[in-house]
Every structure is written in structure tokens, then in C-alpha cells.
Amino acid sequence: MKNHPIPFLQIPGQAALVLLQQLGRLAMFTGQAVFWAMRPPYYWRQVWRQVIDIGYYSLPVVGLTTLFSGMVIALQSYTGTSRFSAEGESSVATVVVLIVTRELGPVLAGLMVAGRIGASMAAEIGTMRVTDQIDALDTLATRPMQYLIAPRVLAATLCLPFLVLVGDIIGVFGGYVVAIYQLGFNPSAYLASTMQYLEAFDVILGLIKAAVFGFILSVMGCFHGYYSGRGAEGVGRATTNAVVYSAILILVADFIITGLVFVR
């Protein structure tokens, strides 16, 4: 065993080197995914398959999540605003639509799709790695980065905004249902308040966030699957890591984007 001059620095030093190695690998992987997504041949069938899987089959889970979130926000905002204001109707409508479009829609969709699709990408690509299917692609004159990774990243980046747009509508509808049928608000007044304070930028910001989150979750899912360890344990760890790191990075990115557009 080697003698290190400062032994207590050995473990943090090794951890830092591993971290830097992983970051470098991730950066190169991300760069290659973007590079190959823009170069022919384009595997449109693969892209379409992912679009269906991400955009279509994620609709129920995103819809249900945003529906109940919209309902909860309506109740909670009513509890909050009724303590200092009598104008609950307009406050609740505004809070619901702003929180859903700017924040909860994209974040919840990102987290739910990370759990559903990010994990599935990591498991599928990890299994392909373990069963030599990725090596087989290589020997069959097909670049794995172009055939496997680029379509997934492209599809997730394009589909998340669509999912969030649908989720926004469902979330606002959830708030409306609670406001009208449980809190007894006037429907037309509630809708008028909803539209009065909603700006196009609120929706656009949510869609930009969604695209970024889609990119993050697909890159993390593919990256952890692509570099999955051997055996069932390796694939299991890759799947877990894909979901955990996606969730963390989505929340970090959410804060950064919100901070960039924040105006006092």
C-alpha cells in the first residue's frame, strides 16, 4: 500500500477525483447526445416511439398530479388569503393559475416523468448494456449515441412542454372545480380573475422550464443506463441514480431559471 504524505486528505481527494471524472464523463456524454441529435441519419421511428412513450403514456400521471395539485392549491390559498382579505375569489384564482403555470405544472410533470421515463430509460439502456445489445449496435455499423440516446433526449425535450401545457390546463381546472363546487365561488368571476392576471410569459416560462427538465431527465436516464454496472444490481443502481439525480437537478434548475427571470 502506498504511503501518502497527508493521509487524512486521501479519502476526500479520491472522492473529488471520482466526482470530477463523473462530471467530465457526463459533460462529454451530454455534448455527444446533442451533437448526434443534429446529424443524419435521423432515426425518426425511434424518436416517434419515444414521443408516444413520453408524451402520450405520461399524460394520465401528469394529468392526475396536476389536477389534485390545482385542487389543493385552491383550498390552501383560500385558507391563506381569507385571513387577511375578503376578496378570496380573485386571490384564489390568481394564486392557482400562477403557481400552476409558473411552478407546479413544470416541476411536478418533470418529477413524475423522471420517475416514470427516466427510470425506464436507465433500466432499458442498462439492460442493453448488460446483454451486449449496445456492443451489437456498434458492430452493426450503428452509433449507439445516435440510435439510442439522441432520440430519447430529443423526444423528452420536445414532449415535456406539451405535457406541461396539458397539465397547466388540468391543474387550473382542478382549482376551478374546488373553487366553484366546494368554496361556492361565482364561476364567471373566477374565470375572469384567472384570465385577468395571467400573462403569456407565465405560460412560456413554464414551458421553457419543462423543456429544460425534459432534457435533464432524459440525459440522466440515458447516462446512468449507458454506464450501468454489470448484472441486475448494476442496472438497479443505475435506475435509482437516474431518478434521484434527475429530481435533484430538476429542482436546482428550477431555482436557477426562476432566479434568472425574477423581478422585484
Partner 1 sequence: MTMSTQIKIKGLSKAFGEKVVLDNLDLDIPKGKSIAVIGASGTGKSVLLKCVLGLIEADQGSITVDGVETLGASRQTREDVLKKFGMLFQGGALFDSLKIWENVVFRYRQGKNLNLAELRDAAEQALADVNLEPRVMDLYPAEISGGMQKRVALARAVVDRPEILLFDEPTTGLDPITSGVINRLIRSAVDRLGATAITISHDMTSIRAIADDVAMLHGGRVIWKGPVGDMDQTDNPILDQFVHGYAEGPLTRYAEQA
Angstrom distances, CA of residue 109 to CA of 3, 41, 84, 100, 191: 51, 31, 32, 11, 24
DSSP category for residue 141? T
Provide, rounded to whole angstroms, the least separation between the CB of residue 26 and partner 1.
Answer: 20
Is 131 a residue that touches partner 1 (CB under 8 A)? yes
CA 221 to chain centroid, in Å, comes to 11
What is the secondary structure of 93-122 as a DSSP string? HHHHHHHIIIIIHHHHHHHHHIIIIIHHHH
Is 48 a residue that touches partner 1 (CB under 8 A)? no
Is 52 a residue that touches partner 1 (CB under 8 A)? no
Give the one residue of 135, 186, 248, 256 binding partner 1; rule: CB under 8 A.
135
What is the secondary structure of 33-70 as a DSSP string? HHHHHTSSSP-HHHHHHHHIIIIITTHHHHHHHHHHHH
Is 142 a residue that touches partner 1 (CB under 8 A)? yes
Amino acid symbol at 165: L
Interface with partner 1 in residues 143-202 (CB under 8 A): none
Provide, rounded to whole angstroms, the least separation between the CB of residue 23 and partner 1.
Answer: 22
Provide, rounded to whole angstroms, the least separation between the CB of residue 42 and partner 1.
Answer: 14
Distance CA 112, CA 164 (A): 11
* Residue 48 CB coordination number (10 Å): 12
Stretch that binds partner 1, among 139-147, 176-184, 215-223, 235-243 (CB under 8 A): 139-147
Is 237 a residue that touches partner 1 (CB under 8 A)? no
Provide, rounded to whole angstroms, the least separation between the CB of residue 130 and partner 1.
Answer: 9
Is 31 a residue that touches partner 1 (CB under 8 A)? no
Give the one residue of 20, 27, 28, 136 binding partner 1; rule: CB under 8 A.
136
What are the b/e assignments for 3-22, b being 16+ CB within 10 Å? eeeeeeeeeeeeeeeeeeee
Is 233 a residue that touches partner 1 (CB under 8 A)? no
Instruction: Give 30 or 50: the residue with its C-beta nearer to partner 1.
Output: 50
Distance CA 92, CA 36 (A): 46
Stretch that binds partner 1, among 75-83, 123-131, 184-192, 250-258 (CB under 8 A): 123-131
Give the one residue of 6, 38, 86, 140 binding partner 1; rule: CB under 8 A.
140
Residue numbers at the binding site for partner 1 (CB under 8 A): 49, 127-128, 131-133, 135-142
